[in-house]
Amino acid sequence: METFAALAHGMAVAVQPMNLLYALIGVFLGTAVGVLPGIGPALTVALLLPVTYKLDPGGSLIMFAGIYYGGMYGGSTTAILINTPGESASMATALEGNKMAKAGRGGPALATSAIGSFVAGTIATIGLAFLAPWLVDFAVRFGPEDYFALMCVAFVTVSATFGDSPIRGLTSLFIGLTLGLIGIDKLTGQARLSFGIPELLDGVEVTTLAVGLFAVGEALYVASRRHHAEEKIEPVRGSLWMTREDWKRSWKPWLRGTLFGFPIGALPAGGAEIPTFLSYSTEKRLTKHPEEFGKGAIEGVAGPEAANNASAAGTLVPLLTLGLPTSATAAMMLAGFQQYGLNPGPLLFAERPDLVWGLIASLFIANVMLLVLNLPLVGLWVKLLAIPQPWLYAGILVFATMGTIAAKPSVVELSMLAGFGVLGFLMRRFDFPIAPVVVGLILGPIAESQLRRALAISLGDPIVLLQSPMSATLLGIALVALLAPFVLKGMNRFKATED
Amino acid sequence: MTDLPEGPTSRRVDRAGLVIAAALAALAVVLVWDSRQLPATTMYGMGPEVMPVVIAIGLGLLAIGNLIDALRGNLPPRESADPKAVLLILGGLALLIAIIGFGGGFILATSALFVATSAAFGRRAILADSVIALVMSTLIYLAFDRLLTLSLPTGPLERLL
């Protein structure tokens, strides 16, 4: 019942007219930016951070909730209409969605994705509201060694377990960890890796890194291979609305997608790829129209879209209760909190319940607005997709640099942005995943200070890491998750030679 | 597992992969070199010099892993890239940084970037793009400077507004 009271209080915060307006602006801007090809939700949040600089923390976090959901929905629109998923989570959507658009059923595909996102988002946010306080009760008993172990699990699962090459994923992670070392050490005041450059003493800004890697890197990459293939936009033809048959075929996939998305998203492992592809393959198996799969089956859009949105809400569980970002988008949300000196975690629930519950309540509101705004505005978003590529990417770069110029107009900071852009380009070209870099930069310093705190309390005895049953278990999980892909790869090779 | 022999379809050594491995190893050396300049001050637990070394060891291992991938030609296939487009955008970014650095202001700087990027994507109408860029960045400047009161760098053009 405590949850209901807290949620009701949060609702009271969120429905203040000013906050409703912030949520509306957030959803609108988030969708508008997220719909641009090549811009995923993480970049949407990073690009729009400067817009929230001047707001109070409450208003800005509420706008963030809108941007988060808006960016997700915008990404699906791009995936369906031009088959360029902005991030791996909408890859499954693009499979059937783009086929539907090609067959002239783009309208129903967008509609089932919008309504499915709404259904999944609402259910998952209820899950978040009930799971979070329970997890907070649990998390307040965590010692620094438990946090350190938890972050090790996140490091391994974000980088090594799910990519196609654990070596490349771990390489990305360690680049991020290295960047996290730059600047003044918080515990002793010593400067690390600053090479006498005063601007580096503050460390690397998360937004500079994310915008450089995602926006500048993507622009360079797309420009470098422009001669290969032009993107083709599918015009939305025919009816925008779903038929009775479409509804009948959509509602079960929505619910099943939610069931996959929320629990997996809420694990500290994170990642929306697993639930979206699980949902896709489940729908493919359960469908009564197997002949349509591969040619544009509505179940194949409804399920993964719901899973994607549910896992996005699930990701907020470890973020809000443990301060643990498990996706690039969540890492950007954490950066948004940090710009106000707020650290998500069990303490934030105790100290600023108005803020946390206001945010959770705004997620419901953002969801409703997403539906109200996007069904009628589909036509507008499609027009945005039709901006000629040269102007589109030129505009993206102007906005990307503007964020940095507004935050820190220094030559060093802008050079770092350009440098990260080159890094992002090379990583795309050589197929290194990008998200682990961002997660490494954010979590690396936190993990280090937790480890050092644990060791300081134990007077330098590393056995403290294994004495806490929680920490020992988590470190074991991290080790297994680290080694499993290598072992499995070896077994696959055995199989290959047997055949 | 790294000692399993490759099949008969063994591909040739990937040179870019060798460069990546070398870069990771160099980064590890920089980390160790930098950490040795830190005085060890902490009495108990670990000081600020420990973590860089741990990360450097990780980078060293990953350099070896990447090296093995490169020697086996195990890198994912990649398509040819157009270096001119990349250099044009990087030139635009360099111009932007120079203009901001010498006090040329936000509007000129972002306009230069806009035109360079647009050219990198194949547009040849530089004059028309310049006009579009100037109008757009002036509008952005006004919106952010006046409405959101973010301070963007000012130059000769901004002082006219």
Nearest one of B42, B50, B39 to A459, comparing CA atoms: B42
- Across A70-85, average pLDDT: 81
Give CA–CA dist A309/A276, Å, rounded. Answer: 9
Angle at A321 between CA A318 and CA A365, to 5 degrees: 85
Give CA–CA dist A190/A34, Å, rounded. Answer: 40
Name which of A48, A452, A489 to mutate to probe chain B: the one with the most chain B Cβ atoms within 10 A of its Cβ: A452
- The confidence score (pLDDT) of residue A273 equals 73
Give CA–CA dist A394/A284, Å, rounded. Answer: 40
Q: Is the pLDDT of residue A271 over 70?
A: no
Chain A neighbors of B93, CB-CB under 8 A: 216, 397, 401, 414, 417-418, 421
**Which tokens sit at A461?**
């005895």
- The confidence score (pLDDT) of residue B5 equals 41
CA of B1, closest CA in chain A: separation in Å?
Answer: 6
* B103–chain A Cβ distance below 8 A for any pair: no
Write down the residue that tokens 């060293």 correspond to: B60
This model of the complex carries an ipTM of: 0.88
Q: Is the pTM of this model over 0.90?
A: no
* B158–chain A Cβ distance below 8 A for any pair: no
Query: What percent of chain A is predicted at pLDDT more than 70?
Result: 92
Question: By the 8 A CB rule, do A33 and A390 touch?
Answer: no
Give CA–CA dist A460/A472, Å, rounded. Answer: 17
User: What is the average pLDDT score of chain A?
Assistant: 83
Chain A neighbors of B65, CB-CB under 8 A: 167, 170-171
Tens of pLDDT, residue by residue over B53-93, are: 999 999 999 999 999 988 887 777 777 788 889 999 999 99
Tens of pLDDT, residue by residue over B137-146, are: 898 888 877 7
- The confidence score (pLDDT) of residue B1 equals 37
Q: Which residues pair with A184 in a beta bridge?
A: A191
**Which tokens sit at B121?**
């994507």
